[in-house]
Amino acid sequence: MENSSNLWWIYALLSAFFAALTTIFAKIGVENIDANLATAVRTIVVVLIAWGIVLAQGNISQLTTVPSRTLIFLVISGIATGFSWLFYFKALQMGKAAQVAPIDKSSVVMVILFSAIFLHEPLTLKVILGGFLIIIGTLVLVL
């Protein structure tokens, strides 16, 4: 991690760390509330933080220069995120965090497949083996 091109590792590890905390805090927070309402509350917090960062960095002016194709895919991504969060909170409310989270993270296998189909990323032996191990690991944790 000598140069900025390797910083993605740090950000990815921080993402995983905060995703783990998200699961634990969400499981506790969704105990006595409707899962959809819990998701809405969480979403407000995320929106405030994200826009706060954009404003603090002075990047709001870039909003007018976002290409329409980019905006369309960001909106579609937001819709997918919303559904993901709604289903995730409902699953957390009904199941054990240690079982829900691995199933949720098995989305990595879906990303591998979708990235090969839509982004034409290579499906190497290493990628296929890694995806298979994720599936096996998920099944071990859940069953």
**Tell me: the pLDDT tens digits for 4-43?**
788 999 999 999 999 999 999 999 999 999 999 999 999 9
Same domain (yes/no): 124, 143 = yes
What's the pLDDT at 3? 60
Last residue of a domain, one of 59, 75, 95: 95
Same domain (yes/no): 29, 78 = yes
The whole-number average pLDDT for the span 62-66 is 95
CA distance 78 to 33: 24
Please provide the average confidence, as pLDDT, over all residues in the chain. 94
63-72 long-range contacts (CB < 8 A, ≥24 apart) are none
CA distance 23 to 88: 9
Same domain (yes/no): 8, 49 = yes
Model-level pTM? 0.85
> Residue 1 pLDDT more than 50?
no
DSSP assignment letter at 33: S
Cβ atoms of 107 and 83 within 8 Å: the answer is no
Other CB atoms within 10 A of residue 1 CB? 9
Same domain (yes/no): 89, 23 = yes
Domain that holds residue 77: 4-95
pLDDT 10s digits, 93-123: 999 999 999 999 999 999 999 999 999 999 9
Tell me, yes or no, whether 115 lies in a domain: yes
Tell me, yes or no, whether 143 lies in a domain: yes
Same domain (yes/no): 142, 110 = yes
